[in-house]
Chain A
Amino acid sequence: MTSNGSWLASVNPACKLIAHLCVMFMLMAVSDPVITLCLWLLAVVTGIVLGGWRIGYLLKRLLPYTLFFVLIFWMLAAFGKGEHVIWQWAWFRVTEESLNNGLTIGLRMLGFVTYGLLFTSTTDLTALMMSLIHQLHLSPKWAYGMLAGFRFIPLFQSELQQMKSAHKIRGYKQKNSWKAFTRYALPLFTQGIRKSERIAVAMEARGFTGTRDRTYYLAPVMEGKDWVYAAGLLVVAGGIIWLLKFM
């Protein structure tokens, strides 16, 4: 997770996270497909205007989710409750209400994904952790522990790939996914535990005790523009809901 250097990337990460979570709660409270669509469009527009998203990037990141969207829509449309039956076959029963609900939930999921992407594509991991320490009073022990741990994501991914190749070259064929799971999970966990012990020893050896009483090379503060972004996003989202619901 690295920031992409847009204006949105300069907003305080903790503030941004909370603002996006608030919009998510709004999305959860809305049960109308049109309002949900507008809130999703708000995320897309914010991403393009403030988040530095190119159209190509947007399509590349969001297209895979359209399959997911269709799936969620179908699940609710065919298995949901409702009175006005439109089409019925075997155990599938499509009604007006279920179509409406399916559309709402599908768009809501798309909204969750887009607000998540808006956050992850514009936030630097180190800045986020520092912001969690300073703004949300997370203990440095956990923040630095997580920073150390998150460095292992790419390592684990490449290790998993390596194990797969090693198995392949020795002629191991994946018979069922249950066996394959333990075969890959076990070495991954053992390696992880060994590494975690070494990291902890290294951190303590370098004088890291995990107390709050320390110096920071990065100390994010809340500025005017952070408040403006959070308030702006919430006011516009709230305005959309109010306008479409009561006008």
Chain B
Amino acid sequence: MNWKMKEVVLTVILAVACGVLYLGWSTLWIPISALVGPVGAGFMFGIWIIASPIVAYIIRKPGAALIAEVAAAAVEMLTGSHFGLSALLIGVFQGLGAEIAFALFGYKRYNVFTLMLSGALAAVGSIAYNLIANGLGYYTTQMFFLTLGIHVISGMVLGGLLAKVIVEALARTGVLNPYEIMKSRRKQGKSHAVASRV
């Protein structure tokens, strides 16, 4: 892995920003889940995995999704999350899930589909952790699949799709110009230009 220092720090800082957002989101989750129940509150899940698609989409390197999510989870833990050490572990599961989506396409394809797939697989990872640690297996079968479905949809929309929206908005501001996402776009643009001239 030949990560540039620039990319390392970018990954960490975006993860830190996400971690701070996660913490706020976690605090918001308690009253909402008290109101509509844990299954209903599953629709909020997607935000907690957004670090993976955002960073992987910008950096486009193997391991980016996993590292970003674990770092964001570590930040959430260190700043005093009410999930404690389990915030760190669940980050590993979600990050692995998200990473698989990009690995499946050999880290070549970065479009809305792969981003949403990464959100869905991160949701599966999170459910796998919850099955082991948080007693999701004690729910009735119906309740379990309902929870899984809501998490996957939320992961696709609030994770993958929102990540796409955010990164596109960031790209418009020009701050992403030195990174892989804009580099590959410039390359594509250039080849188009050459083709049109020929």
- Residue ranges of A at the interface with B (Cβ–Cβ < 8 Å): 1, 20-21, 24, 28, 64-65, 67-68, 71-72, 75-76, 79-81, 97-98, 101, 104-105, 108-109, 112-117, 119-120, 125, 141-142, 145-146, 148-150, 152-153, 156-157, 160, 177, 181-182, 185-186, 188-190, 192-197, 199-201, 203-204, 208, 210
8 Å CB contact of A145 from B12, B28, B47: B12
Roughly how many angstroms separate A79 CA and B89 CA in the complex, as a whole number?
Answer: 25
Interface stretch, picked from B31-39, B95-103, B105-113, B117-125, is B31-39
Is A81 a contact partner of B85 (Cβ separation < 8 A)? no
CB distance from A187 to the nearest CB of B (A): 10
The 9 closest A-B CB pairs, nearest first, are A116-B84, A149-B12, A113-B84, A116-B85, A105-B135, A196-B13, A200-B6, A145-B8, A112-B86
Is B39 a contact partner of A192 (Cβ separation < 8 A)? no
Give 6 A-B pairs besides A148-B9, A181-B47, A208-B5 with Cβ atoms closer than 8 angstroms: A80-B135, A108-B133, A112-B85, A113-B84, A145-B9, A200-B5
Interface residues of B in 37-76 (CB under 8 A from A): 37-39, 47, 54, 67, 71, 75
Do A182 and B165 form a contact, CB below 8 Å, given A190-B175, A193-B14? yes
Roughly how many angstroms separate A203 CA and B8 CA in the complex, as a whole number?
Answer: 11
CB distance from A218 to the nearest CB of B (A): 19
| Contacting residues, chain B, for A75 (C-beta < 8 A) | 33, 37-38
Roughly how many angstroms separate A195 CA and B14 CA in the complex, as a whole number?
Answer: 10
CB distance from B112 to the nearest CB of A (A): 17
Roughly how many angstroms separate A109 CA and B79 CA in the complex, as a whole number?
Answer: 18
- Residue ranges of B at the interface with A (Cβ–Cβ < 8 Å): 3-6, 8-17, 19-21, 24, 28, 30, 33-34, 37-39, 47, 54, 67, 71, 75, 77-89, 132-135, 138-141, 143, 165-166, 169-170, 173, 175-176, 178
Jot down 27 A-B pairs with beta carbons below 8 A, ordered by A.
A28-B132, A71-B30, A72-B134, A79-B39, A79-B143, A81-B141, A101-B138, A112-B83, A112-B86, A120-B77, A141-B3, A141-B5, A145-B12, A146-B71, A149-B9, A149-B13, A149-B15, A152-B13, A153-B78, A160-B20, A188-B17, A188-B20, A192-B13, A192-B14, A194-B175, A197-B6, A197-B10
Q: Is the interface of A mostly helix, strand, loop or mixed?
A: helix
8 Å CB contact of B166 from A101, A117, A186: A186
Is B16 a contact partner of A152 (Cβ separation < 8 A)? yes
- CB nearest to A68 among chain B residues: B82
| Contacting residues, chain B, for A112 (C-beta < 8 A) | 83-86, 133
Q: Is the interface of B mostly helix, strand, loop or mixed?
A: helix
Is B33 a contact partner of A71 (Cβ separation < 8 A)? yes
Do A67 and B30 form a contact, CB below 8 Å, given A80-B139, A153-B16, A208-B5? yes
Is B133 a contact partner of A193 (Cβ separation < 8 A)? no
| Contacting residues, chain A, for B5 (C-beta < 8 A) | 141, 145, 200, 203-204, 208, 210
| Contacting residues, chain B, for A197 (C-beta < 8 A) | 6, 9-10, 178
| Contacting residues, chain B, for A142 (C-beta < 8 A) | 8, 12, 67
Do A119 and B85 form a contact, CB below 8 Å, given A76-B135, A79-B140, A149-B13? yes
Roughly how many angstroms separate A150 CA and B47 CA in the complex, as a whole number?
Answer: 20
- CB nearest to B34 among chain A residues: A71
Roughly how many angstroms separate A108 CA and B82 CA in the complex, as a whole number?
Answer: 13
